[in-house]
Structure 1
Amino acid sequence: MGFFYIILILTLSSLSNAKSIVKNLPGFNGDLPFTFGSLLMVIQRYVGVGTNDEIQVFYYFVESQRDPLHDPFLIYLTGGPGTSGLYPFLYQIGPLSINFDNSTYEKVSLKLNPNSWAKKANVLLLDLPAGTGFSYATTFEATKSNDTILAQHSYQFLIKWLEEHPRFLNNPSFLWNERGNQPRLNIIGCLIISPLTDRFDDFNSRFEFAHRLALISDDIYELTSKINEENVLDPYCDGDNKSPICGVNFLLTNAAKYFDSFGNDKEVQKALHVREGAGHSIPMYKPEENWVILDEWLDSYSYLSDS
């Protein structure tokens, strides 16, 4: 699924060592804003991973707007598999977001995100596995992946990236590391967002979890035991409303159309210096396209075929 970034630096590749500085993006009015006297810029390259760099990884690096040399370094891996780093960039933590009030499906407008994590952290997002976003494989075999291979490629990418950007080695880092390898990372934490282990247990333990963490009061917790789920009236979501008020239950299908439009815009790809013909892009919520990746993923676990 997906594609890009803006305050970022998009990555390197053994095939291309030239950095491309992006000063503006289609949909954003004017040049990208300044911070600490330096441009919030996009430096784009691909990073080759795998035995012979047969996988070319597209990435997004969002430099902290506060103190990039000392602020935390966050490696953000999206789920799926098959979700591009563009999705959290535009819908979750990135410095830009879609201005739905001024956007059409044909022309997407962007605005600054006041709640961007980049205000206080350096954020690195990857398009992995191969076939996600603008990442691609040069051989058919390289398109196959699983959890182990993805972890290896992510780690290999991170090592290469940090070798090119050693100034971030001493920043407190969040996610993962592998003992004994170089360069050593200053890992201090791991954050897992919306993990799913068992659908029944996960969904039915949320009130209990919130109550134990004092996120909801005793009164509210006790009220939940009296709810008749068959008669709960949810807020009505107007299908034509671009700014729904239903919290996280917003119209993902409509939002995905803006996402796809922006990511597949040739002018956007040109601004980001995406390699022409570099594989394919997988839009959000396209089950057939995403299933290709997931099917290959599941095939790598032979024991699943016996279940």
Structure 2
Amino acid sequence: MKIAFLLTIHFCLLVFAHCYGGNGYDPLENVLSIQRSKRSAQDHIELTAENSYSPVYVGPQDGLKDVDKISSLPGQPNGTDFDQYSGYVTVDPHHGRALFYYLAESPINSSTNPLVLWLNGGPGCSSFGNGAMMELGPFRVNADNVTLSRNKYAWNNVANVLFLESPAGVGFSYSNTSSDYKTGDIQTAKDSYTFLINWLERFPEYKSRDFYITGESYAGHYIPQLAQLIVQNNKITNQTVINLKGIALGNAYVDDETENTGLFDYFWTHAIISDEIHEGIISNCNFTEAGTITDACNDYKIQAFAAKSNIYFYDIYAPLCSPSSNSTPSISAFDPCTENYISSYLNIASVQQSLHAKPVKWESCNEYINKHWTDLPFTVLPVIQDLMATGISVWIYSGDTDARVPVTTSRYSIDKLQTSVKTPWYPWMYEEKVGGYVVGYQNLTFVTIRGAGHFVPSYQPARALAFFSSFLEGKLP
């Protein structure tokens, strides 16, 4: 009876809290709960060259770049000084599966700046709506839902940034075959790779450009798996070789054991849960891959989420969006109602037309995809280790006010990588203030962004751009 009561409290809190996607649920916890309940040895899957490679579909791309160019977005401010493109790239013509992208080129040095792919997680959440419009893109949607303002800390200041809505069914991406909406890690990596090969045919000027991948949350799975596929296929393909230089994983879900231990340790050290609940979790929960989650463990986990109450645990010190009052800026001047503005804006017919998108009801996250995720390995740390050994730049960064995938989780995950320290932990500075902390490991860099939640560029845009610039330069901030 007690568990049922607490479950009800937890559900109500999730419904009424200010949530990722604005639709009352936590997509990462949702998919993890489902996967944990059915996990078996078969779920420990790694992409390998032997079982993953075959020549990918390449469709005709002539003339499509010109078609995809955006003349202007409704409500965009005057003086916009960069080119932007959006449209679809078909990745499976037989299923009618096509992925939507948005490219924001740099206002300066676009012909020489690197190409960066941004991926949001979920799984099932939009890289365009959440990533471009809420975080690091060139525009933010104003409170009137119809006009845009310039984000002066947009990442396209230093790179050409490509936002990909993946897998099919996320955001504006789609498939004509409904079974495609039951997908998982492996197919998402393959489709993203096929997208890149075709997109580079459409934009051949980027074929030799330095290429980076970054993103956050469940993209902690997407990015290493896609990067591994690129590295493997670069060695054996007679198609386009992608000039991958580095990856950066933000507040990233990479390992299920450290996600759990880091989450509840963060709750305790930030005065969200009591000593008794924390001790109950430590004493009753075995979060290892072979561990069994007992009823006692579940009881304490439910108590922990109930104790959290209705704080927005993607940024634990931020105010909530209140529909009954004027929006209150958070400690970092980020409007907590931004997700609502984005949803309204992206569902305007003229906006979808200007983006060359199919008319749809745009949603921040696709709950069906999330609930029907088919494969999710317990850990991708072995994949990250393989990438570290290739010599590409591997960075992990963490906003330190995020409780969803907290800084403790990232540090525990790095401990599992068993890499040695080259540059000891130190504070990095931005405008004569501590921007965060950094430690340089052998073949790995870890950076925190002070005062940032899960969506780092939303809460600390200036510090996020400073960190990102350092990542591209290959220098510790």
Query: Would you call these one fold, judging by a TM-score over 0.5?
Result: yes
For residue 283 of structure 1, what is the aligned residue in structure 2? Answer: 363
Q: Which residue of 2 aligns with 1:172?
A: 210
1:108 Cα deviation (Å)? 2.9
Over the aligned positions, Cα root-mean-square deviation in angstroms equals 3.5
Unaligned runs of 5+ in 1: 3-11, 35-39, 208-223
After superposition, give the CA deviation of every residue in 1:239-264 in whole Å (9 maximum; x if it has no partner): 3342412349963xx32211110111
1:43-76 CA distance string (max 9 Å, x none): 3331101263621111011112221222121111
2:44 corresponds in structure 1 to none
- Residue aligning to 1:242: 327
Q: Distance in 2 between matches of 1:127 and 1:114?
A: 24
Asked if the contact 1:94/1:118 (under 8 Å) is kept, the reply is: yes
Q: Which residue does the alignment assign to 1:41? A: 83
| Mapped partners of 2:272, 2:175: distance in 1 | 47
The residue type equivalent to 1:162 in the other structure is L
| Residue of structure 2 in register with 1:219 after alignment | none
- Separation in 1 of the partners of 2:371 and 2:318? 36
* Candidates 187, 198, 221, aligned match of 2:244: 187
Contact 1:14–1:53 (Cα < 8 Å) also in 2: no
Distance 1:51 1:267 in 2: 27
Residues 14 and 48 of structure 1 are in contact (CA less than 8 Å); yes or no, is this contact kept in structure 2? no
Q: TM-score, normalised by structure 1?
A: 0.71
Amino acid in structure 2 at the alignment position of 1:284? S
Matched, 1:24 2:72: yes
Amino acid across the alignment from 1:86 = G
Give the match for residue 139 of structure 2.
96
Separation (CA, whole Å) in 1 of partners of 2:260 and 2:328: 31
* Aligned mates of 1:256, 1:190 — CA distance in 2: 27
| Identity across matched positions, percent | 26
Following the alignment from structure 1 to structure 2, what is the Cα–Cα distance between the partners of residues 33 and 87? 21
Determine the structure 2 residue equivalent to 1:120.
158
- C-alpha contact (below 8 Å) 1:83/1:132 kept by paired residues: yes
Counterpart code for 1:91: M
Local SS of the residue matching 1:61: strand
Note if contact 2:169-2:181 (Cα within 8 Å) is conserved in structure 1.
Answer: yes
Answer yes or no: is 1:111 the counterpart of 2:165. no
Partner of residue 221, structure 1: none
Q: Deviations over 1:227-283 (max 9, x none)?
A: 76669xx868373342412349963xx32211110111111112222234xxx4452
- Cα distance in 1 for partners of 2:346, 2:134 equals 13
Amino acid at match of 1:46: Y
| Higher-helix-fraction structure | 2
Partners of 2:131 and 2:271 in 1: CA distance:
35
Give me the whole-angstrom Cα distance separating, in 1, the residues matched to 2:317 and 2:266.
Answer: 20
Residue correspondence of structure 1 range 144-183 to structure 2 within 5 A: 144-175=182-213, 176=227, 177=230, 178-179=233-234, 180-181=236-237, 182-183=239-240
1:33 match: secondary structure:
coil
Are residues 236 and 203 of structure 1, via their aligned partners in 2, closer, same or farther at CA, if it must alter by over 3 Å? closer
> How many residue pairs are counted as aligned between the two chains?
255
Does the Cα contact within 8 Å between 1:13 and 1:56 map onto a contact in 2? no
SS at match of 2:72: coil
Q: Give matches, 1:191-230, under 5 Å.
A: 191-196=248-253, 197=255, 198-203=258-263
Unaligned runs of 5+ in 2: 1-20, 23-57, 214-226, 275-315, 379-477
123, 126, 147: which one aligns with 1:81: 123
- Pick closer, same or farther for the CA change 1:98–1:301 going to 2, 3 Å: closer
Structure 1 residues 167 and 155 mapped into 2: Cα distance closer, same or farther (>3 Å)? same
Separation in 2 of the partners of 1:283 and 1:115? 25
Q: CA deviation at 1:41?
A: 3.0
Bigger drift between 112-121 and 135-144 goes to 135-144
The list of structure 1 runs, each at least 4 consecutive aligned residues, that deviate by more than 6 angstroms after superposition, is 204-207
Give the drift of 1:22: 2.3
> Aligned with 1:191: secondary structure?
strand
Residue 372 (structure 2) pairs with residue 296 (structure 1): yes
